[in-house]
Structure 1
Amino acid sequence: MPQTNQPLRKLGFLTIGLFDPADPAAGHRTTLELIELGERLGFDSAWVRHRHLQYGISSPVAVLAAASQRTGRIELGTAVTPLGWENPLRLAEDLATVDLLSGGRLNPGVSVGPPIHFDQVKDALYPDSAAAEDFGHERVRRLLGFVRGEPVTAFTGTEGIEEYSDRVQPHSPGLGRRLWYGAGSLASARWAGEHGMNLLTSSVVKAEESTAGFAEIQQSQIRTFRAHHPEGERARVSQGLVVIPTDSASPQQRAKYAEYVRRRTPRTEAPQGPARLLFAPDLIGSSDQLAEALYAHAGFREVDEVAFALPFSFEPEDYLQILTDLATRLGPALGWHPAHRVG
């Protein structure tokens, strides 16, 4: 086995929470059951994606509120909530509420940019203000301020029998240090660092003008983030590659997983589209093979936290196998020790 000087400290997983539109409740229950399984296996964190007008979780804060009542230890995150769909003040209220209900386990991850297919949804989402909406970093800065307790209004005190606060209520004091930014570019990584956020890196980066490979671009973004963060090298970064261990997989599962990776590989061979998005290759193999590949990955060598992404379209029994292998085989091969397992 290859050696690393830095053992993996935190192991998490990410799910999109797909559901059948004919029975959406079942898919949401499956997501909650996966999070419960993750806690039993000793994972440090479980993260959900955010999908609007699709057959995936559209309200992760609500799902994580439910998860907070079915678990007692595992951290719960969003990766990521696109702020173009959100009112930062209202979101700050929801996040603080769920954080308090969870006992301080919420890790909200956010991103900026206009909503996807904005021209098609703007009349429904912002019928009177679409042209005036700012979808840049200022939207994150507003959320940060609200969560961290900055005043929202100049008015505070009692009016009649009603008492009013000048900041978002409830206030969860530790939540401001657990806000994550999903950055795909050097500029966003720098901004997140300058504003004291944590950094979520995923399986997508912007190649911009670079001719380097995915891992090297990701490494550069992480180093840029830490160079501009008040905590420097101690600033938190989590990596989120698609990693599929096959140790205990059946022959049928291995064939399915291999086909999944094969179909997605062409998009990793060159930057895609006008934004020059570069996708990381999915990693598949035994835990020994995966550990070797990760230790050779320039981005992975910069982190001691991961939230490996589960493939989108697999069955519950596949996720059971993958999560079990991640927790019992790959994690330990990377120097990780599980949190106290339940059951």
Structure 2
Amino acid sequence: MPLTSEPLRKLGFLTIGLFDAADPRRGHESTLETIELGERLGFDSAWVRHRHLQYGISSPVAVLAAASQRTSRIELGTAVIPLGWENPLRLAEDLATVDILSGGRLNPGVSVGPPMHYDRVKGALYPDTAEAEDFGYGRVRRLLDHVRGEPATEAGGVEGFEVFSDRVQPQAAGLGRRLWYGGASLRSARWAGENGMNFLTSSVVKAESDTTDFAAIQLSHVRAFRDHHPDGDRARVSQGLVVVPTDNATAAQRAKYEEYARTRLPRTATPQGPTRLMFAPDLVGPSAEIAERLHGHAAFREIDEVAFALPFTFDHDDYVQILTDIATCLGPALGWRPAAS
């Protein structure tokens, strides 16, 4: 099986950060410890996923603010913040603040669309404006403008002893180039490219044509994004598949991982739901086998950055084993070299 044209340049991981409602601190500490481990192992990036009104990370920016003070090198990302839950101006302030505290390591990923279960949450989230809210790309455009230093108001100037800015403060140099869009459709891929963002493509895509070949669909998104981006083939794309190497797993861990993948496999056979979502199979097994499967993946062959997703509901010790095997076995098999401490 041929290797990619270029070795894997950036290796990252994504965690959902689950917790027990009776002891939420333990789960958050586990997430922070996982990020610290990732830095020690030489990973280039660590990403967290949001979960609103669930027992997961509801405030990824706050979690990454804490992580920024417990790490010094690893890049910190969100994959992704659904902007339907956010005010773009306030989010821009939070992102810039955390980016400055981290020393310029923040990589915010966002997406658009109505909040999940909107009919149930809109009364609490937007009690007065629920029917007027726009959940389209304009919401991302507002965030981009605020982060990139476009005027937010005409009210700048001095009033008595107070000085006001017409731009969101603080302004974090370079953050505007580190904004990512998480997309699953050709339209999103094109829009992200046209607006100069980076592109996150995950283990879920929309089957918008006759083909149900996941890798072919994902490849079409990568190419559409780069075709519409000012940087062309140099535009940054990160692929996020669920990858579970078992090189140093115990027999019990291997059995658990294989069962997890087995129960999720049926959904990968055909498009799911009215939007025809296609799911990628989870990759479980020895690193050599996973590397061969990735080398045969049409979309993987055209990217040099990944953020492999850790499976949901596993134990902390499982994540330690998986991350260690990714960094010491799978990464090198893909041509990656760990970052210097």
TM interval, short-chain normalised: over 0.9
Post-superposition shift, 1:2?
4.6
User: 1:39 is matched by which residue type in structure 2?
Assistant: E
Between the aligned partners of 1:283 and 1:212, the Cα distance in structure 2 is: 18
User: Are residue 315 (structure 1) and residue 315 (structure 2) matched?
Assistant: yes
Q: Which residue of 2 aligns with 1:260?
A: 260
What pairs up with 1:227-266 in 2 under 5 angstroms?
227-266=227-266
**SS of the residue aligned with 1:208?**
coil
Q: Deviations over 1:6-64 (max 9, x none)?
A: 10000000000000001001000000000000000000000000110011000000000
Q: Which residue of 1 aligns with 2:293?
A: 293
Between the aligned partners of 1:3 and 1:188, the Cα distance in structure 2 is: 29
**SS of the residue aligned with 2:226?**
helix
Q: Which residue of 2 aligns with 1:82?
A: 82
User: 1:89 is matched by which residue type in structure 2?
Assistant: L
Between the aligned partners of 2:7 and 2:107, the Cα distance in structure 1 is: 22
Q: Which residue of 1 aligns with 2:15?
A: 15
Post-superposition shift, 1:210?
3.2
**SS of the residue aligned with 2:58?**
coil
Q: Deviations over 1:197-216 (max 9, x none)?
A: 00000000011233231100
Between the aligned partners of 1:70 and 1:3, the Cα distance in structure 2 is: 36
Q: Which residue of 1 aligns with 2:3?
A: 3
Paired residues of 2:83 and 2:111 also in contact (CA < 8 A): yes
Gapped regions of structure 2 (runs ≥ 5): none
Q: Deviations over 1:185-232 (max 9, x none)?
A: 000000000000000000000112332311000000000000000000
**SS of the residue aligned with 2:324?**
helix
Q: Which residue of 2 aligns with 1:201?
A: 201
Q: Which residue of 2 aligns with 1:224?
A: 224
**SS of the residue aligned with 2:69?**
helix
Q: Which residue of 1 aligns with 2:191?
A: 191
User: 2:191 is matched by which residue type in structure 1?
Assistant: W
Between the aligned partners of 1:207 and 1:223, the Cα distance in structure 2 is: 16
User: 2:276 is matched by which residue type in structure 1?
Assistant: R
**SS of the residue aligned with 1:73?**
coil
With the length of structure 2 as denominator, give the TM-score of the two structures. 0.99
Q: Which residue of 1 aligns with 2:63?
A: 63
**SS of the residue aligned with 2:81?**
strand
**SS of the residue aligned with 2:167?**
coil
Between the aligned partners of 2:178 and 2:290, the Cα distance in structure 1 is: 29
Paired residues of 2:14 and 2:49 also in contact (CA < 8 A): yes
Moved over 6 A (4+): none
Between the aligned partners of 1:174 and 1:2, the Cα distance in structure 2 is: 36
With the length of structure 1 as denominator, give the TM-score of the two structures. 0.98
Between the aligned partners of 2:85 and 2:75, the Cα distance in structure 1 is: 24
Between the aligned partners of 1:298 and 1:217, the Cα distance in structure 2 is: 9
Query: Aligned residue pairs: how many?
Result: 341
User: Are residue 156 (structure 1) and residue 144 (structure 2) matched?
Assistant: no
User: 1:258 is matched by which residue type in structure 2?
Assistant: E
Between the aligned partners of 1:246 and 1:16, the Cα distance in structure 2 is: 20
